[in-house]
């Protein structure tokens, strides 16, 4: 089954770019239908335009409800069946969550639920993991619902926390793992060997 993907990004969208590159290389049975950002100057727009992925800016601050409706409509009009969040730092609204229920996925750079929730993203996750003294971290791909980092888990990869690790060192190892893990998980969904919860 060819996955019809939409992407949400607020910054570089590095996982989304890795996914688009995997499609172009024939490593992922999918189509990149649309990339949406809440920021007009989103860095991901540059690579997306260069690689032929349609882009759309939908600012959310002035009217979140209208933005939510516009996002759901744009994804539907482009034939998107699965939305991939790639560093999208806004909570999704009820229209998008309702229309794409169970079909929005996110990658989180730490074990869930212990190191998730509002405000837990990027470097903050790795700092909390190192400070806690746990022996391993994880990269988790999960379904998105109305709560931050809360939806059902699809898959995870563990990442050891090494003796003397800094948050920066752990972050580098996690980031190196994320794009390939996302691509492999999506390919398993396309093949039917992995199912959405």
Catalogue the active-site residues. Answer: 108
SS (H, E, C) 111-146: CCCCCCCCCCCCHHHHHHHHHHCCCEEEEEEEECCC
Closest CA to 23 of 8, 37, 3: 3
State the CB neighbour count (10 A cutoff) for residue 38: 19
How many helices, marked H, and strands, marked E, lie in the chain? Answer: 6, 7
Cα 48 to chain centroid, rounded: 16
């Amino acid at each position: 089954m060819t996955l019809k993907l939409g992407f949400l990004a607020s910054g570089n969208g590095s996982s989304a770019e890795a996914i688009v590159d995997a499609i172009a290389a024939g490593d992922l049975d999918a189509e990149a239908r649309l990339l949406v950002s809440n920021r007009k100057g989103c860095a991901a727009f540059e690579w997306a335009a260069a690689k032929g992925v349609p882009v759309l800016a939908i600012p959310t601050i002035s009217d979140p409800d209208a933005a939510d409706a516009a996002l759901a409509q744009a994804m539907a009009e482009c034939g998107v069946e699965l939305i991939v969040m790639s560093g999208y730092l806004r909570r999704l609204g009820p229209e998008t969550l309702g229309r794409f229920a169970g079909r929005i996925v996110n990658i989180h750079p730490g074990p869930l639920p212990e190191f998730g929730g509002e405000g837990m993203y990027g470097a903050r996750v790795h700092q909390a993991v190192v400070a806690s003294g746990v022996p391993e971290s994880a990269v988790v791909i999960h379904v998105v619902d109305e709560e931050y980092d809360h939806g059902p888990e699809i898959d995870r990869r563990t990442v050891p926390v090494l003796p003397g690790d800094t948050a920066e060192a752990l972050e580098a190892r996690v980031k190196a793992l994320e794009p390939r893990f996302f691509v492999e998980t999506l390919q398993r969904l396309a093949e039917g060997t992995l199912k959405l919860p």
